[in-house]
A and B are shown apart, each in its own frame.
Chain A
Amino acid sequence: MTERARGRRMDRRRMLDLLVGRLAALGGVVLILTILSVFAVIMWVFYPLFTSPFTSPAEYPWGVSGPDGTASGYPILPLISGTLKGAVYTLIFAVPVSVLAALYASQFLPRVLKERLKPLVEIMAAVPSVVLGFIGGVWLAPFLASHVFALFLAPVFISGAVVAVFLIRHYAPVRFRAFTHPGREIWLLLVALLAGGWLALECGTLLEAAWLRAGYETWFEESLGLTFTQRNAIVVGMVMGLAVTPIIFTLSEEALSAVPRSFLEGSVSLGATRWQTAVRIVLPAAGSGILAAVLLGFSRAIGETMIVLFISGNVPVLDWSAFTGFRALSASVALDLPNAARDDTLYRVLFFAAFLLLVSTFAINTVAELVRRRLRRRYA
């Protein structure tokens, strides 16, 4: 190869290198522009709402539904309240279950089992929300609406069954103890949960026979003075709870597992039990990580659309009762935007609703990510 040919080849290589570098930089720039444009486009559309003299945001978009549910204007306030209601009921179901489960998985579950658990949780997280929403709205909501007493009894009975199985196993002679291997108790727990659930169903039926004269709607009306609808916040909370549980579980478990073992050993060496150590040392040490996990779950619940669409009933109300439905911002956008004419006020209001979702979730996610990063640095 002559010097010149080699030089030319060198030039071509350098050119190519430069080109690809530029291309990657372009990718980066487009990425940043994309993120910014999501904000910009949505703001661009709803901005006239706040300048137009005819549809001042003080009158039209903030219209509140009347006591009978009739809306004057587009009821964005009940929608915000509904969105928060759904998210709060979701967290009521998801946080105890997922944080306790994460505590168990990180502190008491043998490593081998934990490794097998992780892909399952990941797949749970991937279940499309339209699937959960469908099954929640079509099957779970009617089922729960006809087993309300059983629903109330279930937490008590299931806890009782777990304690009962624990005691039976504890007092059973050693050679009769099934699943003595650490971590295998989850099979016993499975039995306990199924038994507890079944008992709750049976006792619920007995209570129904004793107390219920007509349907549950009447019972709620007469005995408690409450409105009861089949598609209510409890069902939304349960189903959306299942949707966010994998998120909260995974991130909490990550935070809990990152707590240095030396803390655990320090506590145990002082005579603390494993549970005391887990609750008094490990849980507080991972506190900010768990908070971040809960925030992410909250943000997911705020923006979740299909589940809410299927199960919430989509009636804009301002009450926070567990037995009534609600209408959320996300579901309203999905239901009303296809019918909104371009640049119409409704169109702009719905963009404003989307903007509220965008800003709140983006902010929450950023905070959660910053918290997570700080935690990771601290224990790295």
Chain B
Amino acid sequence: MTTGKAPIAPKILREETIIDVERVSFWYGDRAALKDVSMAIDRQVITAFIGPSGCGKTTLLRLINRMNDLVPQVRMAGTIRMNGEDIYGPDTDVTRLRRRVGMVFQQPNPFPKSIYENVAYGPRIHGVKSGGFLDEIVERCLRRAFLWEEVQEQLEESAFRLSLGQQQRLCIARAIAVEPEVLLMDEPCSSLDPVATSRIEELMLDLKDEYTIVIVTHNMQQAARVSEFTGFMLRGELVEMGVTDAMFTTPRDRRTEDYITGRAG
């Protein structure tokens, strides 16, 4: 049994590594949210972060596309690299980073615009003006998100008229419309019913051939169903990280075992 600061899963940088988190700590004001977290995330697989609420998994996820820049009075230490480039370096263009690292949120958050405009928004701000080209992008992304069949007749209607599950798929379509390399998903199914959840999971498995997906979930079954790698976090520390199957069957850390078997958390 390992405890405390002992190295958990040795971080191995490989050719497949796309995101390299190195000794990252993070504070909201005086409260530490992440403590010395290091990990490597592989290309074109699904990586899941699990852990009890407040363990820092969402914070870590939001650091990868620098969404925490929007929060005042925070502090960070350590480095995060994407394809070897320091994303917190002085020369980083944040908007370009976020274009390469898309995000899907806990609550579906379509814009108060039409379905079409929701998907077209990203390409538009990145300079796509041609209507025909936009139409193509919208259709491709909606198809990719398994939504086209359901909405092709009502593209001009408000996105708020869709069901929650459809809204979340629309958000995924919106995210892939800017052609990111990585998709971050922050508990994407927590507000959905089981049927809608399974649709999203299906979609994720389908998308992983093209995108690297990092998903935060409090649902261990979901992590087990969809992810290849899982990291377990507790109180701002990464307790254990490894191949999902191995971790769920033979956890190396006592705390992981407690959490997975339901004895804690």
Question: Are chains A and B touching directly in their complex (CB below 8 angstroms)?
Answer: yes
Contact A265 B111 (CB under 8 A): no
Residues of A within 8 A of B95 (CB): 271-273
Q: Which of B72, B99, B113 contacts A271 (CB 8 A)?
A: B99
Contact B105 A265 (CB under 8 A): yes
User: Whole-angstrom distance between the alpha carbons of A110 and B126 in the complex?
Assistant: 28
A72 within 8 A of B: no
A124 within 8 A of B: no
Residues of A within 8 A of B105 (CB): 262, 265-266, 269
User: Whole-angstrom distance between the alpha carbons of A277 and B171 in the complex?
Assistant: 16
Q: Which of B67, B72, B99, B177 contacts A265 (CB 8 A)?
A: B67
Contact A271 B70 (CB under 8 A): no
Instruction: Give the segment of A87-95, A279-287, A304-312 that binds chain B.
Output: A279-287
Give the contacts of B104-131 with A (CB-CB under 8 A). 105, 107, 109-113, 121-122, 125-126
A267 within 8 A of B: yes
Contact A280 B107 (CB under 8 A): no
Contact B67 A272 (CB under 8 A): no
B102 within 8 A of A: yes
A268 within 8 A of B: yes
Could you tell me the dominant secondary structure of chain A's interface residues? helix
Q: Give the most central of A110, A266, A267, A280: most B CB within 10 Å.
A: A266
Q: Could you tell me the distance in whole angstroms from the C-beta of B205 to the nearest C-beta in chain A?
A: 22
Contact B112 A285 (CB under 8 A): yes
Residues of A within 8 A of B107 (CB): 262
A-B contact count (CB 8 A): 67
B96 within 8 A of A: yes
Q: Which of A263, A268, A273, A281 contacts B70 (CB 8 A)?
A: A268
Give the residue name and chain of the B residue nearest to A266 (CB). B109
Contact B112 A262 (CB under 8 A): no
B98 within 8 A of A: yes
Residues of A within 8 A of B125 (CB): 270-272, 276, 280
B38 within 8 A of A: no
B103 within 8 A of A: yes
Contact A269 B98 (CB under 8 A): yes
B174 within 8 A of A: yes
Contact B112 A270 (CB under 8 A): no
Q: Could you tell me the distance in whole angstroms from the C-beta of A269 to the nearest C-beta in chain B?
A: 4
B33 within 8 A of A: no
Contact A267 B111 (CB under 8 A): yes
Q: Mark A117-143, 1 if CB is under 8 A from B, else 0.
A: 000000000000000000000000000
Given contacts A263-B112, A267-B111, A269-B105, could you give 4 more A-B pairs where the C-beta distance is less than 8 Å? A269-B102, A271-B122, A280-B125, A281-B121
Jot down 30 A-B pairs with beta carbons below 8 A, ordered by A.
Answer: A111-B72, A260-B109, A262-B105, A262-B107, A262-B109, A263-B111, A265-B103, A266-B105, A266-B110, A266-B111, A266-B171, A267-B111, A267-B121, A268-B67, A269-B65, A269-B102, A269-B105, A270-B99, A270-B125, A270-B178, A271-B96, A271-B126, A271-B178, A272-B121, A272-B125, A276-B125, A281-B111, A281-B121, A284-B112, A284-B113
Closest 10 CB pairs of A and B: A271-B99, A262-B109, A269-B103, A270-B122, A271-B98, A266-B109, A271-B95, A272-B125, A285-B112, A276-B125
